[in-house]
């Protein structure tokens, strides 16, 4: 009897992704629909099987009308990337409780062709020129530098590792390998962060189909089990770049997620870490206990996160830094593909378990297994 009632009560049975780039001929709905169709084909299901729908960055009424899906369970989650994991957890809970039997989760983003600006609008600190999520992360990383001696060059190793992975991924937008020196020579956007510390805004769509383990048995692909998940929010200082790197929240999550999954850290084969900016990878690794707090910079050197080289192959798709900024949705699709052994040149050998980690005001982690 597992001590957490949600263990292995939901599965990912289909994933679909579009190309990533600039597609002004369509929009977020067209991209979401394209991803949904791909995910349904992957699962061997049709729209008629869907009785739960969670959409992100698209409006649920319009998308339901377009696809003629009239479910018994429906949610539209907020556009922040933290809500990809939240959406997956909500779907898992809906499946575990019987609120839905087959849930489609659909993400559509045309941020590139619609010239989405992450910065420059009205905000609390705009009178002093503080704007953009990147600047907030720069502020958080400066604190880490001062406290622990972490450097910009430490971040370079993260960017270099993920770009190596992207070179093995035909879907990645940026595939040309980079060096630590090239990272260090890239221009500052908001110092201490440089261009190569930033994710890539692109158009694209991602969809997942989730169902119960019973329903998954006779579907096309091997199910990927949602073994455990945990989340801890912290909005106590939400009006400023959060001091403390979300470390307390992540420690809380770490204290739950492995036990809930029944899978310890040492049994994890690969990681998917929300990498909107390189520092969040350090914050996630430290908070989840892969290294001690403050030692993240040293930890990511020497290829620790590199496929075929380090113990913890991370973001094998290239992640947000090199594949495309799909706000966690494509990272979780990559996790499912890794667990099905479908990643070709970038496959983690004998991949049985993947852990997803997102360090933010809604810190979360999900452990998936095959």
Residue 358: CB minimum distance to other proteins, A: 22
Half-sphere exposure of 73 (CA within 13 A, CB side): 24
Q: Using alpha carbons, list the distances in angstroms from residue 221 to 106, 155, 160, 206, 354.
A: 19, 37, 33, 18, 17
Spatial separation of the C-alpha atoms in residues 303 and 258, rounded to whole Å:
25
Report 163-202 residues binding other proteins (CB under 8 A). Answer: 187-192
For other proteins, the binding residue among 100, 140, 168, 335 (CB under 8 A) is 140
Region of 4-12, 48-56, 141-149, 340-348 interacting with other proteins (CB under 8 A): 141-149
Residue 180: CB minimum distance to other proteins, A: 21
Q: Backbone phi, then psi, for 325, in 5-degree steps?
A: -80, 90
Spatial separation of the C-alpha atoms in residues 353 and 370, rounded to whole Å:
7
Spatial separation of the C-alpha atoms in residues 205 and 33, rounded to whole Å:
8
Nearer to other proteins (CB atom), residue 115 or residue 218: 115
Residue 110: CB minimum distance to other proteins, A: 21
Q: 325 catalytic, yes or no?
A: yes
Active-site pick, 73, 198, 245, 325: 325
Hey, is 63 helix, strand or coil?
A: helix
Nearer to other proteins (CB atom), residue 138 or residue 158: 138
Nearer to other proteins (CB atom), residue 12 or residue 190: 190
What's 271-291 look like in SS3? EEECCCEHHHHHHHHHHCCCC
Residue 30: CB minimum distance to other proteins, A: 29
Contact 270, 348 (CB under 8 A): yes
For other proteins, the binding residue among 37, 132, 184, 361 (CB under 8 A) is 132
For other proteins, the binding residue among 70, 239, 309, 311 (CB under 8 A) is 239
For other proteins, the binding residue among 138, 209, 216, 250 (CB under 8 A) is 138
Closest CA to 271 of 358, 329, 354, 334: 354
237 is a contact residue toward other proteins (CB under 8 A) = yes
Ramachandran assignment for 318, one of left (phi > 0), alpha (psi -120 to 50 degrees), beta (any other): left
For other proteins, the binding residue among 21, 44, 119, 303 (CB under 8 A) is 119
Nearer to other proteins (CB atom), residue 128 or residue 350: 128
Active-site pick, 29, 60, 258, 274: 274
149 is a contact residue toward other proteins (CB under 8 A) = no
Closest CA to 328 of 88, 152, 31, 149: 88
Half-sphere exposure of 245 (CA within 13 A, CB side): 25
Residues 6+ positions from 135 with CB-CB distance below 8 Å:
119, 190, 241
Q: By rule CB under 8 A, what count of residues binds other proteins?
A: 33
Closest CA to 369 of 58, 65, 9: 9
Nearer to other proteins (CB atom), residue 48 or residue 195: 195
Spatial separation of the C-alpha atoms in residues 273 and 285, rounded to whole Å:
8
115 is a contact residue toward other proteins (CB under 8 A) = no
Nearer to other proteins (CB atom), residue 196 or residue 210: 196
For other proteins, the binding residue among 24, 177, 243, 344 (CB under 8 A) is 243
**What are the catalytic residues?**
274, 325
Binding residues (CB under 8 A) for other proteins: these are 117, 119-120, 122, 124-132, 134-135, 138-140, 142-143, 146, 187-192, 236-237, 239-241, 243
């Amino acid at each position: 009897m597992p001590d957490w009632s949600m263990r292995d009560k939901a599965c990912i049975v289909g994933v679909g992704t579009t190309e990533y780039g600039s597609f002004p001929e369509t929009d977020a709905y067209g991209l979401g629909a394209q991803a949904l169709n791909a995910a349904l084909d992957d699962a061997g299901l049709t729209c008629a099987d869907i009785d739960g729908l969670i959409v992100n960055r698209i409006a649920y009424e319009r998308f339901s009308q377009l696809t003629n899906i009239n479910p018994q369970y429906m949610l539209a989650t907020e556009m922040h990337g933290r809500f990809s994991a939240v959406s997956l957890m909500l779907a898992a809970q809906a499946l575990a409780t019987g609120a839905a039997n087959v849930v489609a989760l659909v993400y559509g983003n045309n941020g590139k062709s619609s010239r989405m600006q992450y910065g420059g609008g009205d905000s609390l600190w705009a009178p002093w020129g503080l704007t953009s999520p990147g600047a907030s992360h720069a502020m958080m990383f400066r604190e880490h530098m001062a406290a622990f001696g972490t450097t910009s060059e430490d971040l370079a190793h993260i960017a270099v590792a993920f770009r190596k992975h992207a070179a093995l991924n035909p879907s990645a937008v940026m595939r040309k390998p980079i060096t630590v020196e090239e990272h260090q020579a890239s221009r500052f956007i908001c110092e201490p962060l440089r261009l190569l510390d930033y994710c890539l805004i692109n158009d694209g769509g991602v969809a997942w189909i989730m169902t119960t383990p019973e329903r998954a048995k006779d579907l096309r692909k091997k199910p990927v089990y949602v073994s455990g998940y945990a989340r801890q929010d912290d909005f106590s200082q939400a009006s400023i770049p959060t001091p403390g790197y979300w470390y307390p929240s992540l420690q809380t999550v770490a204290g739950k997620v492995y036990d809930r999954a029944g899978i310890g850290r040492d049994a994890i084969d690969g990681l998917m870490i929300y990498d909107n900016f390189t520092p969040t990878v350090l914050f996630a690794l430290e908070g989840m206990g892969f290294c001690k707090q403050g030692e993240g910079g040293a930890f990511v050197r020497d290829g620790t996160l590199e496929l075929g080289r380090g113990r913890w192959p991370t973001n094998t798709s290239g992640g947000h830094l090199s594949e495309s900024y799909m706000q966690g949705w494509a990272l979780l699709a990559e996790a499912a593909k890794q667990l099905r052994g479908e990643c070709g040149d970038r496959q983690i050998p004998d991949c049985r378990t993947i852990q997803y980690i997102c360090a933010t005001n809604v810190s979360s982690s999900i452990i998936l297994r095959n």
